[in-house]
Structure 1
Amino acid sequence: MDCIDCPYKSQCFEKLNKSELQYINSSKKQVNYRKGETIYKQGSFSSHIMFIVEGYAKKYVEGKGGNDYTLNILKPNEFIGLSSLFCTKEYCYCSVSALTNTTVCLIKKEDFKKLIAENNSFAQEIIKWYCQNEEYIFKKFTSMNDKNTTGRLAEVLLYLSSKEYDDLDTHISRKVLSEFAGISLESTIRILSELKKDKIIATDGKKIEILDLDKLKSISKNG
């Protein structure tokens, strides 16, 4: 897909002129990943900045004993690998795997740096996106640290109920929910069962429907 006519351009790329978009287009690669495939591997060398065109992906830290901690659910128009752009150690500090069939554009880091250096508006949008992302992760960690297991899961359910994730609910497994909330799989299944019994949510396979939004918000706030 040509960068100039791409309908998926984020606000960042809207700041680039035609020649700059052509510059990106000449070297970028578009890769399709199937659901479950690894897009970005923790500890591996990071040579490209990635941009999600379509699909959803799980960004997570690989822990010991096969335990993962999900940092975020990435959606279209989000970047992967920006944290390694100006670091001395150019490796991936986390992993990203496709929750759905996902299309990603790979941009060489040197090309990305060149655009940042030469286009101030583009640089500001990248910094803005990065700061918003860091703010979310900081708030998530501090919020989760102050909540019990039920409050943590309630917060995750509220987060995923956003319109931005409307078509994702059938792809989120109970394991991903538990990793995102930072609780055990057993606790996740138990709490979902309790919320269903109290008619706060309804479930149909992987799909979770919120029936009582106010109660779920209260649990998240006070949990």
Structure 2
Amino acid sequence: MVTVYEHVFHWEDYLKLGKRRFIRKKEHIYTQGTNGDGFYFLHKGLVKIVTVTATEKERVLNIVIPNQLLGVQSLDQKKHFTTAVAVKDSVVYHFSSEEFRDFMVQYPDLNQLFSKSVIHKMKILLDRINMNALTSEQRVALLLQNVCDEFKNYEIPLSQQDLSSCTGLTRITVYKVLKEWKEKGIIDTDNKKFYIKKPDFLRNLVKQSY
């Protein structure tokens, strides 16, 4: 089954227009409450988008995988309402607001590429919202499937806490789901990583929700 995460947008020809940055694991790309200037393209790595609620609790809103945009809301140069944190060592390209407006005039195709990429990102967020209608197993399966389909090696560098935050499930519920799957040989775990041994099981489980 093809998910919205599997679409590829060819930014390679335009990366030379952005500024390359290497982001170490756990480093912030941008921080909630700071003024933004432009957006980022994730070339390599894995990034989580989090927000701090009124009760000062951190909540994961989204997981960004390579070939996706992040921070697009700061194109208007206002304050970020989320924080982007590298889950693993990552490479991003930054496009400033002023320069990007000039680039779109020089390269008309870039405007269309950007528009499609933003629409794609909105579909991902909608997918995240619709997750609330799924069972606990389907929520975890959907998240793991979307990430492992991108990396192809079926190694998920996320902790149980990350899975809990992204799915909206308690850590106990996530633990029970993963424990059952490990006993059945569907996944394996090692040092805060998940190894998907039977990816077809996840796909079939998610497919039941459509």
What TM-score bracket applies, with the shorter chain setting the length?
0.7 to 0.9
Could you say if the C-alpha distance between residues 12 and 184 of structure 1 is closer, same or farther in structure 2, counting changes exceeding 3 Å? same
**Residue 126 (structure 1) shift:** 0.6
> In the alignment, does 2:137 pair up with 1:114?
no
Say whether the 8 Å CA contact 1:54–1:103 is kept in structure 2.
yes
Instruction: Determine helix, strand or coil for the equivalent of 2:88.
Output: coil
User: How far apart are residue 13 of structure 1 and its match?
Assistant: 5.3
Structure 1 runs of 4+ aligned residues shifted over 4 Å read: none
Structure 1's 49 and 73: CA in aligned 2 closer, same or farther, altered over 3 A?
closer
One-letter code aligned to 1:108: S
1:203 to 189, 205, 210: 189
**Root-mean-square deviation (Å):** 2.6
Q: How does 1:158-177 map to 2 (within 5 A)?
A: 158-162=145-149, 164-166=150-152, 169=155, 171-177=157-163
**Of 38, 41, 48, the match for 2:31:** 41
The answer to whether the Cα contact below 8 Å between 1:12 and 1:126 also exists between their aligned partners in 2 is no
Residue type of the partner of 2:109?
S
Q: Which has the larger radius of gyration?
A: 1
1:11-160 mapped onto 2 (5 Å cutoff): 11-12=10-11, 14=13, 24=17, 29-63=19-53, 64-75=55-66, 77-85=67-75, 87=76, 90-142=78-130, 144-160=131-147
Q: What corresponds to 2:3 in structure 1?
A: none
Normalised by the size of structure 1, how large is the TM-score?
Answer: 0.77
Cα deviation code 1:59-79 (max 9, x no counterpart): 23333442312312232x332
**Matched positions, count:** 200
Report what 1:217 is aligned to.
203
| Contact 1:60/1:72, CA 8 A, preserved across alignment | no
Q: For residues 82-104 of structure 1, give each alpha carbon's deviation from its aligned partner in whole angstroms, at most 9, with x where no partner exists.
A: 2232x4x7121321101111222
1:187 equivalent in alignment to 2:173: yes
SS of structure 2 residue aligned to 1:161: helix
Gaps in structure 2 of 5+ consecutive residues: 1-8
Identity across matched positions, percent:
22
**Structure 1 residue 205: Cα displacement:** 3.4
Pair 1:165–1:61, CA change in 2 (3 A): farther
